[in-house]
């Protein structure tokens, strides 16, 4: 009888160990802090902006998201957490090959590789290759290209979709044509918020 119990116990322990290995647990707060600590170029959004994006996506139940300018993955991890709650997917594009490699690695470390697809390359080239439409867009690329990205993505933004852009307060002088376009378009409702002072524009497609 004792031998039988021992065999069963060992089997249970072996199964538990295998399950733990198959489902590694990530420490997202630690990963996010690590990304920020290494962000010497200050390319990541603030923590406040990251939390805002997560809340915005989750509360409005977005499922088909695009990020233009993924850097090392800080904002993608915040948005990916929300996408896991909504059952959605995020595609994030980063031009710089070194950063795109870091981005993919950080997404994997955060346990979000099944939610977030990383594309390395020129977003102007890669976006037309992505199938379907988007109900959420987060733009955080070269500021003087914002208007070009809006023109490229707007036709594929769903009705009721949100087009959001970063640094519209602290770098507004670099994107005057973009700000003018989103505020004058009669098919958009636009507001600007500043969770951390950098500014995020929110444009809702009617």
Least confident range from 39-43, 81-85, 86-90, 166-170: namely: 39-43
pLDDT band at 112 (very low <50, low <70, confident <90, very high): very high
DSSP the chain: -HHHHHHHHHHHHHHHHHHHHHSPPP-HHHHHHHHHHT-TT--SPPHHHHHHHHHHHHHTT--EEEEE--TTSHHHHHHHHHHHHHT-EEEEEESSHHHHHHHHHHHHHTT-TTTEEEEES-HHHHGGGS-S-EEEEEE-S-GGGHHHHHHHHGGGEEEEEEEEEE-TTTTGGG-HHHHHHHHH-TTEEEEEE-SSSS-EEEEEE-
> Do the beta carbons of residue 88 and residue 116 sit within 8 Å?
no
Q: What are phi and psi of 198, to 5 degrees?
A: -80, -35
Instruction: Please choose, from the candidates 132, 136, 161, 163, the residue with its C-alpha nearest in 3D space to the C-alpha of residue 149.
Output: 163
Q: What pLDDT, in 10s, does the model give residues 128-176? A: 999 999 999 999 999 999 999 999 999 999 999 999 999 999 999 999 9
Q: Locate 103 and state its tokens.
A: 């981005």
Quick one: average pLDDT of 191-203?
A: 96
d(CA 147, CA 206): 19
Please tell me the pTM assigned to this model: 0.87
Q: Given a cut of 90, is residue 10 above it in pLDDT?
A: no
Quick one: average pLDDT of 19-48?
A: 79
Quick one: average pLDDT of 170-197?
A: 97
Topology (CATH) of 26-205: Rossmann fold (3.40.50)
CB atoms within 10 A of CB 141: 21
pLDDT at 43 (0 to 100): 83
Instruction: Please choose, from the candidates 107, 177, 190, the residue with its C-alpha nearest in 3D space to the C-alpha of residue 149.
Output: 177
pLDDT at 97 (0 to 100): 96
d(CA 199, CA 201): 7
Quick one: average pLDDT of 106-128?
A: 98
pLDDT band at 40 (very low <50, low <70, confident <90, very high): confident
Compute, in degrees rounded to 10, the torsion defined by CA atoms 197, 200, 202, 203. Answer: 130
d(CA 166, CA 117): 21
pLDDT at 39 (0 to 100): 85
pLDDT band at 24 (very low <50, low <70, confident <90, very high): very low
Residue 205's DSSP bridge partners are 188
């Amino acid at each position: 009888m004792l031998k039988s119990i021992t065999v069963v116990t060992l089997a249970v322990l072996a199964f538990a160990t295998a399950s733990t290995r198959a489902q590694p647990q990530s420490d997202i707060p630690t990963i996010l802090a690590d990304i920020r600590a290494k962000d010497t170029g200050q390319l990541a959004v603030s923590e406040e902006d990251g939390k805002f994006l997560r809340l915005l996506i989750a509360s409005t139940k977005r499922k088909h998201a695009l990020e233009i300018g993924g850097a090392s993955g800080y904002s993608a991890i915040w948005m990916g957490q929300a996408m896991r709650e909504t059952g959605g997917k995020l595609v994030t594009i980063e031009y710089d090959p070194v950063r795109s490699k870091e981005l993919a690695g950080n997404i994997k470390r955060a346990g979000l590789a099944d939610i977030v697809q990383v594309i390395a390359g020129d977003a102007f080239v890669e976006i037309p290759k992505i199938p379907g439409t988007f109900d959420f867009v987060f733009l955080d690329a070269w500021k003087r290209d914002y208007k070009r990205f809006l023109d490229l993505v707007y036709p594929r933004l769903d009705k009721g979709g949100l087009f959001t852009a970063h640094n519209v307060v602290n770098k507004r002088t670099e994107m005057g044509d973009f700000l003018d376009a989103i505020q004058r378009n009669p098919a958009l409702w636009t507001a600007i918020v500043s969770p951390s002072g950098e500014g995020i524009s929110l444009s809702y497609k009617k």
